[in-house]
Structure 1
């Protein structure tokens, strides 16, 4: 049983076996109406709404998993990734909580003025401004 199966089963209150089989059918590109009408024995008689809910949650969890990879690689590039932080990120499955964990490590946006200051152009800009007065 994978993580998605457990999370979806707990969130929707559905049996894990049915959720796992439904995810497998969705991975095989079966449509929601097909699954709910012709694969009832595999899903445990789930209706179209339940299969649709499973598909939506799978999509959300896939997006969160991709975001986790991006966050982990960004923090690792900053050399600030600890084992404890990695575990917190990997155990998190809500997007808002994930973004809260990432916030202190999120790179700040750099403006053109910031780039110019880093290149040592601030004294020149100040000199030009003083001549305009």
Structure 2
């Protein structure tokens, strides 16, 4: 039995001496280090690139689900009546005609306060033309 006690006492000490932080600080018996790894609030995946034309309704500064996924956002309504969520790098005001080119993406949000968790797809705009002017 004495041999077993020494093995059991030695094992926790061996395990504690192997646990280190990024700075290679050895923990002493009884010491505890709590490491919190931040989880991303949203996961984004790129799906495909496309170009759409239609009227644009901005929702920037408006309580809209799309605002949880991107700030400079709104919806392009095509001639066929399809309503497509879009996200810009800058503020774009509502207009009767716009052509946007970008990547269709989807973003997943974990619960974070005002935004409920979920997935939403939208077009992340790379370039756009309002009327006949290229921006």
TM-score (norm 2): 0.27
Task: Compare relative contact order (CA 8 Å, sep 6+) and give the higher one, 1 or 2.
Answer: 2
TM-score (norm 1): 0.27
> Which protein has the bigger helix share?
1
Q: Select the structure of larger CA radius of gyration.
A: 2
